[in-house]
Amino acid sequence: MAPPTTTVRRHPSAGNLDSRPALVAQDATPEPLPPISFPHGTELSGDLVQFGPDLDHEQLNRLIGSVEGRRVLDLGCGTGAAAIALARRGARVIAVESSTARLAQARAAAERAEVRIEFHHSDLADLAFLRADAVDLVVSVYALAGVQDLSRVVRQVHRVLTPESPLLLSLPHPFATMLEDDDTEQQPPTLTRTAWSAAPVAWRAGADEGVVHPHSFSELFTTLTRASFRVDTVLEPPAEPGGSSLHRSSLSEWVPETLVVRARKLGI
Residue 17 in domain: no
pLDDT for position 15: 35
Per-residue pLDDT of the chain (268 residues; tens, 9 = 90+): 555 554 444 333 333 334 444 444 444 556 678 777 788 777 777 789 999 999 999 999 999 999 999 999 999 999 999 999 999 999 999 999 999 999 999 999 999 999 999 999 999 999 999 999 999 999 999 999 999 999 999 999 999 999 999 999 999 999 988 988 766 656 788 899 999 998 998 888 777 788 889 999 999 999 999 999 999 999 999 988 876 778 878 888 899 999 999 999 997 6
Task: State pLDDT tens for residues 182-194.
Answer: 666 567 888 999 9
Give CA separation, 88 vs 16, 130, 169, 181, in Å. Answer: 24, 22, 20, 36
10 Å CB burial of residue 231 (0-12, 13-18, 19+) is middle
State how far the Cα of 122 lies from the Cα of 256, in Å rounded to an integer. 31
State how far the Cα of 152 lies from the Cα of 154, in Å rounded to an integer. 6
Torsion sign over Cα 221, 227, 232, 233: negative
* Domain containing residue 88: 30-265
Residue 210 near residue 146, CB atoms below 8 Å: yes
Residue 37 near residue 202, CB atoms below 8 Å: no
Task: State pLDDT tens for residues 51-80.
Answer: 999 999 999 999 999 999 999 999 999 999
What's the structural domain count of the chain?
1
In this structure, what CATH number is given to the domain that contains residue 242?
Answer: 3.40.50.150
pLDDT for position 30: 62
Residue 222 in domain: yes
State how far the Cα of 82 lies from the Cα of 87, in Å rounded to an integer. 9
Helix (H) or strand (E) segment spanning residue 156: helix 150-160
Residue 194 in domain: yes
Residue 117 in domain: yes
